[in-house]
Amino acid sequence: MYYKKEVYSLWLMPTGRTRDDLQRLIVDLSKKHSTPRFEPHVTLIGEIQSPVSELKSKTEKLATLIEPLEIKLREVAYLNQFFRCMFIKAEKTKALMNARSIACTELAQDNDKNYMPHLSLMYGDLALSTKLGVIQEIGKELAVDFGITDFHLYYTGGQPIEWHPVLRVRLGC
């Protein structure tokens, strides 16, 4: 029997044209390399295992403690990890790291000092030559900035195709 874990993530998501451009890039890469599709996002906290009703309440409270902020994406990179196959690193700005710290405290999560904010472009187990080819195609340096005015709580148990939004809440309200 297949059991879906009750796992959630708190995402920071671009909107408007930036979202559309990043989604198009993710979809294009997915088609070309047969990788999963997903919404463009920077994970503030992942792998939260908590009852959804409790998590919704905590996320709503958390949103009142954090002001809108800006995400600054800069460098395309890769790792030999399925969910960090190819990504754009986000700058560890004071506002972003403060949001992370508050979120970890409020949601009783470990504030891992190795947190590397990023926006994934591809998930998968791809050869180094493929990753280098993608970097050659799209460039190593990207300058994409976008404002964050909301938290997005996503169900992230199971496969990426099963992920879905649970709650969207405005920051600073």
Tens digit of pLDDT for each residue in 64-112?
A: 999 999 999 999 999 999 999 999 999 999 999 999 999 999 999 998 8
Tell whether the model's pLDDT for residue 3 goes beyond 60: no
Q: Kindly indicate the confidence band of residue 142, based on its pLDDT and cuts at 50, 70 and 90.
A: confident
Q: What number is the average pLDDT over the span 128-157?
A: 95
Give me the number of domains the chain comprises: 1
Asked if residue 2 belongs to a domain, the reply is no
- Whether residue 29 is contained in a domain is answered as yes
- Distance separating alpha carbons of residues 26 and 33, to the nearest angstrom: 10
CA 128, 21, 19, 148: dihedral to nearest 10 degrees?
A: 80
Is it the case that residue 1 has pLDDT exceeding 50? no
Local confidence band at 147 (pLDDT 50, 70, 90 cut-offs): very high
Can you give the pTM of this predicted structure? 0.94
What's the pLDDT score for residue 107?
A: 93
H/E segment holding residue 11: strand 8-12
Cα 11 off chain centre by: 5
CATH number, domain with residue 77 = 3.90.1140.10
- Is 65 part of a structural domain of the chain? yes
